[in-house]
Amino acid sequence: MAVEPIIETAVQETKLTLNGAVLRGNLLAHNGTNWVAANATDATTSLYAQYIALEGGASGAEIRACRGVELSDADAPWTANGTIYVSGTAGAFTQTRPATAGDVIQIVGRAISTSQASLFIERPRVVEWFLSPDNLDTSSEPGLGTADAGWPGPQITGTETFYFKGRFPSNIVGSIEAANIVYDSVNASAGDIDITVVGGYDGASNVQDTGTAITAGDWSQTDTDNIILTQDISAALDAGFYTPSRNWAIYVDPDGVTGAVMVLGLYLRMLVV
């Protein structure tokens, strides 16, 4: 991309105040104060692209920006009809998918030709997951579980453990919105449940990050029989742990549960771009 490409058309224009210098055609992100150059390699995944600069400006300037453009750049060159991503170079876009561990993979457009591109910044959207417990558990029915009132899963008391595992999407942004273990109460009370996590990128250490442990965790609801209980474990998925394309596992170790709970699953809610 040339230093400043030619903007041919623009849609959904607005004005933004800068918190750092940008050039015309730069992709813009919000850093919590004002608008700066977007960057796929931002470790906290907060500098995802939201607008495109229609003019350059210094920090503190108010500039015109928009969500969609068609632009030309004679010295690109792009591969016609190829995908365009937010780059690991601040403000830039690229047809090379970012490959550094933890990069946010955000698609922002397509190449019309070798010198023209069409960009449109979609709003972040919510994704919800519900994951079943791993086959490995130390209940009295390991890997099989039992049932209560029609709810299947491992039945856990104070001496049994279980796991979840997964992989965060390559396009997650921001902080995790919700992370709750969901249980069915079998006259359960006095929850004392420890949570530990481990994570690693492909090709990296299998204990690369261990998040933030939770000790003596409890469900959010009052102890009652025959209700659905939830335990908030979002504190274990801290900003350093909750990153794009990270593989992870969660170990749940109840130190004490009077009665029992059926483990139904893990509910996760997050933003992706």
Q: In this predicted structure, what is the pLDDT of residue 75?
A: 78
Average the pLDDT over 49-63 and give the result.
97
Q: In this predicted structure, what is the pLDDT of residue 73?
A: 86
pLDDT tier at 93, thresholds 50, 70, 90: very high
Task: Name the more confident of 44 and 202.
Answer: 202
74 domain residue, yes or no: yes
Question: Residues 95, 151: one domain?
Answer: no
Question: Residues 107, 197: one domain?
Answer: no
Model pTM score: 0.93
Q: In this predicted structure, what is the pLDDT of residue 45?
A: 66
Average the pLDDT over 192-207 and give the result.
97
Question: Residues 55, 147: one domain?
Answer: no
Separation between Cα atoms, residue 273 and residue 269, nearest integer Å: 14
Residues whose CB falls within 8 Å of the CB of residue 68, separated by 6 or more in sequence, listed in order = 10, 11, 12, 52, 118, 119, 120, 121
On whether the CB atoms of residues 160 and 194 are closer than 8 A, the answer is: no
Where among 120, 155, 186 does a domain terminate?
120
What radius of gyration, in Å, describes the C-alpha atoms of the chain? 23
49 domain residue, yes or no: yes
Report how many domains make up the chain.
2
Which bin fits 99, alpha (ψ -120 to 50), beta or left (φ > 0)? alpha
Question: Residues 61, 129: one domain?
Answer: no
Say if residue 42's pLDDT is above 80: no
Say if residue 34's pLDDT is above 70: yes
pLDDT tier at 173, thresholds 50, 70, 90: very high
Question: Residues 144, 233: one domain?
Answer: yes
Full DSSP string of 80-102 = TT-EEEE-SSTT-EESSPP-STT
On whether the CB atoms of residues 232 and 180 are closer than 8 A, the answer is: yes
Say if residue 39's pLDDT is above 70: yes
Question: Residues 183, 95: one domain?
Answer: no
Query: Running DSSP on this structure, what letter comes out for residue 252?
Result: E
Query: Running DSSP on this structure, what letter comes out for residue 53?
Result: E
Where among 93, 120, 147 does a domain terminate?
120
Neighbours of 206 (CB within 10 A): 9
Least confident among 72-81, 84-93, 110-119: 72-81
Question: Residues 132, 261: one domain?
Answer: yes
Question: Residues 170, 183: one domain?
Answer: yes
20 domain residue, yes or no: yes
Residues whose CB falls within 8 Å of the CB of residue 252, separated by 6 or more in sequence, listed in order = 161, 162, 163, 164, 181, 193, 194, 195, 263
Three-class secondary structure of residue 55 per DSSP: coil
Residues whose CB falls within 8 Å of the CB of residue 57, separated by 6 or more in sequence, listed in order = 18, 21, 22, 63
Question: Residues 192, 230: one domain?
Answer: yes
Say if residue 209's pLDDT is above 90: yes
Neighbours of 155 (CB within 10 A): 22
Tell me the CATH number at 192: 2.60.120
Q: Which residue has the tokens 């558990």?
A: 137
Say if residue 43's pLDDT is above 60: no
Separation between Cα atoms, residue 106 and residue 94, nearest integer Å: 11
Angle at 206 between CA 180 and CA 163, to 5 degrees: 30
257 domain residue, yes or no: yes
Question: Residues 267, 145: one domain?
Answer: yes
Domain assignment of residue 210, given as a range: 125-272
Q: How many Cα atoms occupy the beta-carbon half-sphere of 38 within 13 Å? A: 26
On whether the CB atoms of residues 53 and 63 are closer than 8 A, the answer is: yes
Question: Residues 92, 206: one domain?
Answer: no
Separation between Cα atoms, residue 1 and residue 136, nearest integer Å: 51
On whether the CB atoms of residues 90 and 27 are closer than 8 A, the answer is: no
Where among 120, 142, 170 does a domain terminate?
120
Say if residue 2's pLDDT is above 80: no
Question: Residues 133, 259: one domain?
Answer: yes
1 domain residue, yes or no: no
